[in-house]
């Protein structure tokens, strides 16, 4: 075990992990900058909503197709390209003269984000020994909350380092430079993509066509169940963490505490991801982890949004919601590698999951906001997210039944 951990390939896997965190930083850099953007570029509330959601547009519409392209282009080559697209888009966004330029740059960042995160599970599988795969996939599942937490903490510091009208631009340019550096490191340290073996003269390579890869992925019940379960998770996680400022306002919390408390709520999700990787490596069934995660999220939201509950207990419920809920993404990423219909469809399966994850993140917060506005308060919001957890739990049971041998199915 120790020797495997020091091999060049195992070290290279950590560059893949850092690349995912850098991609997540680009997604999470916007919320701390929104107040300044409203003053400097005149960004309206509606435009701010589009800025937040447009980064998910590529994932919602192109996840499966991009996964296919990643498989064809090559995993390392795709990740390097994605990092370069992120660097270019962030540099252009930092130079934006108006909100429309900034909106366009966010679309490009969404594309770059996809090209970074979709090849990552396949690269990790290629770079680490089989006995370490579950643990590394648990670490990979933490890339998004870690990036979000770092952006929430560091973003305001960079923005306020100089005059606010230039601070947000510096943040964009710093992250552009960081993405460019990671592109160089991944190209340098991650082994090159394997070339297909030569075929004997007169024979045609029996390589599946694009249509066959997509059809194989979409015919897989496991791919659909994992994708929908991820949507149930991602939609409610983003909705709850995104509406934390409302909980703080009710509790009379303000100032710098808001950034720290929000970042902590995002960061504890990392613990669940890492724990899931370790438990999967020790043979804990995925159903146990998925069931625990969805039950904790459902119960946590009911308590967090319940009336007449103390602010401290509400925040504790949010921490439990995020931390235990972190068992879900790591488990689903690990299952995606194991349950992909074939080795050729790992990237398309992950792409399909990413597409539904983006759909959940795009639809979840507006749904929660609509219910809260219609009810005039937050009392029904917990029930909306609890229903998502219930659906996720049902999907987890169906996924378990799909994996179980026929003789062991109830």
Same domain, 232 and 332: yes
Q: Which of 112-121, 122-131, 386-395 shows the lowest per-residue confidence on average (mean pLDDT)? A: 122-131
Asked if residue 200 belongs to a domain, the reply is no
Asked if residue 89 belongs to a domain, the reply is yes
Structure tokens that stand for 10 in this block: 């195992």
Q: What percent of the chain has pLDDT over 70?
A: 88
Same domain, 222 and 327: yes
Same domain, 403 and 255: yes
Q: Which of 161, 192, 223 is the last residue of a domain?
A: 192
Give the pLDDT score at 323. 96
Distance CA(164)–CA(35), nearest Å, equals 10
pLDDT in tens, 314-332: 889 999 999 999 999 999 9
Give the pLDDT score at 57. 82
Asked if residue 366 belongs to a domain, the reply is yes
Q: Is the pLDDT of residue 46 over 80?
A: no
Give the pLDDT score at 92. 95
Confidence of residue 400 (pLDDT cuts 50, 70, 90): very high
Asked if residue 407 belongs to a domain, the reply is yes
Q: Is the pLDDT of residue 96 over 80?
A: yes
Confidence of residue 88 (pLDDT cuts 50, 70, 90): very high
Cα-based torsion angle of the residue sequence 200, 344, 183, 259 in order, rounded to the nearest 10 degrees: 180
Same domain, 146 and 220: no
Q: Is the pLDDT of residue 140 over 60?
A: yes
- Arithmetic mean of pLDDT, 70-85: 92
Same domain, 128 and 246: no
- Arithmetic mean of pLDDT, 160-178: 88
Give the pLDDT score at 246. 58
Written as one string, the DSSP assignment of 346-397 is HHHHHHHHHHHHHHHHHHHHHHHHHHHHHHTSSTTHHHHHHHHHHHHHHHHH
Q: Is the pLDDT of residue 296 over 50?
A: yes
Q: Which of 5-14, 239-248, 286-295, 338-347 shows the lowest per-residue confidence on average (mean pLDDT)? A: 5-14
Asked if residue 206 belongs to a domain, the reply is no
Same domain, 284 and 148: no
Confidence of residue 1 (pLDDT cuts 50, 70, 90): very low
Q: What percent of the chain has pLDDT over 90?
A: 39
* Interhelix angle 269-281/311-325, nearest 10 degrees: 40
Which of 352, 317, 313, 311 lies closest to 333, judged by CA? 352
**Degrees to nearest 5, angle at CA 106 with 101 and 111:** 130
Distance CA(45)–CA(6), nearest Å, equals 50
CA distances from 11 to 82, 190, 192 (A): 21, 9, 15
Same domain, 101 and 242: no
- Which one is predicted more confidently, 307 or 216? 216
CATH number assigned to the domain comprising residue 2: 1.20.1250.20
Q: Which domain holds residue 188?
A: 1-192
Same domain, 188 and 215: no
Give the pLDDT score at 180. 97
- Arithmetic mean of pLDDT, 382-401: 94
Burial of 139 (0-12, 13-18, 19+ CB in 10 A): buried
Asked if residue 378 belongs to a domain, the reply is yes
Same domain, 6 and 132: yes
Give the pLDDT score at 139. 84
Confidence of residue 354 (pLDDT cuts 50, 70, 90): confident
pTM: 0.79
Distance CA(23)–CA(231), nearest Å, equals 20
Same domain, 388 and 255: yes
- Arithmetic mean of pLDDT, 330-338: 91
Q: Is the pLDDT of residue 369 over 80?
A: no
Q: Which of 92-96, 254-258, 371-375 shows the lowest per-residue confidence on average (mean pLDDT)? A: 254-258
Same domain, 169 and 307: no
The tally of domains found in the chain comes to: 2
CA distances from 37 to 43, 69, 285, 401 (A): 6, 35, 46, 49
Q: Is the pLDDT of residue 168 over 50?
A: yes
pLDDT in tens, 222-271: 999 999 999 999 989 988 887 776 556 556 666 667 778 888 998 899 99
Confidence of residue 374 (pLDDT cuts 50, 70, 90): confident
Give the pLDDT score at 410. 44
Same domain, 224 and 156: no
């Amino acid at each position: 075990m120790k020797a495997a951990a020091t091999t060049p390939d195992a070290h290279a896997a950590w560059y893949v992990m850092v690349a995912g965190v850098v991609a997540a930083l680009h997604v999470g850099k916007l919320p701390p900058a929104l107040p300044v953007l409203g003053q400097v570029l005149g960004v309206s509330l509606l435009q701010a909503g589009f800025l937040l959601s447009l980064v998910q547009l590529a994932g919602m519409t192109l996840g499966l197709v991009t996964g296919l392209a990643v498989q064809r282009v090559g995993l390392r080559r795709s990740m390097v390209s994605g990092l370069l697209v992120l660097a270019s888009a962030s540099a252009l966004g930092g130079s934006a003269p108006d909100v429309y330029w900034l909106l366009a740059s966010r679309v490009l960042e969404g594309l770059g984000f996809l090209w970074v995160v979709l090849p990552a599970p396949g690269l990790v599988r290629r770079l680490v020994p089989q006995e370490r795969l579950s643990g590394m996939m648990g670490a990979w599942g933490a890339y998004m909350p870690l990036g979000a937490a770092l952006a929430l903490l560091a973003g305001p510091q960079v923005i306020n380092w100089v005059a606010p009208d230039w601070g947000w631009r510096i943040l964009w340019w710093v992250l552009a430079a960081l993405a460019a550096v990671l592109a160089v490191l991944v190209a340098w340290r991650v082994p090159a993509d394997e070339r297909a073996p030569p075929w004997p003269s007169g024979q045609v390579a029996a390589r599946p066509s694009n249509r066959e890869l997509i059809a194989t992925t979409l015919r897989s019940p496991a791919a659909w169940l994992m994708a929908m379960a991820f949507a149930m998770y991602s939609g409610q996680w983003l909705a709850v963490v995104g509406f934390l400022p409302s909980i703080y306002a009710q509790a009379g919390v303000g100032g710098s505490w808001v950034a720290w408390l929000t970042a902590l709520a995002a960061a504890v999700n990392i613990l669940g991801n890492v724990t899931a990787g370790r438990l999967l490596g020790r043979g804990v069934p995925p159903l146990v982890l998925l069931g625990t995660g969805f039950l904790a999220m459902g119960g946590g939201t009911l308590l967090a949004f319940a009336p007449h509950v103390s602010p401290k207990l509400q925040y504790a419920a949010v921490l439990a919601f995020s931390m235990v809920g972190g068992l879900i993404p790591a488990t689903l990423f690990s299952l995606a590698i194991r349950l992909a219909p074939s080795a050729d469809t790992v990237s398309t399966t992950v792409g399909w999951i990413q597409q539904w994850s983006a759909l959940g993140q795009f639809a979840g917060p507006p749904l929660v906001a609509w219910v809260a506005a219609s009810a005039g308060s937050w009392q029904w919001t917990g029930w909306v997210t609890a229903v998502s957890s219930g659906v996720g739990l049902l999907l987890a049971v169906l996924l378990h039944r799909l994996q179980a041998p026929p003789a062991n199915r109830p």
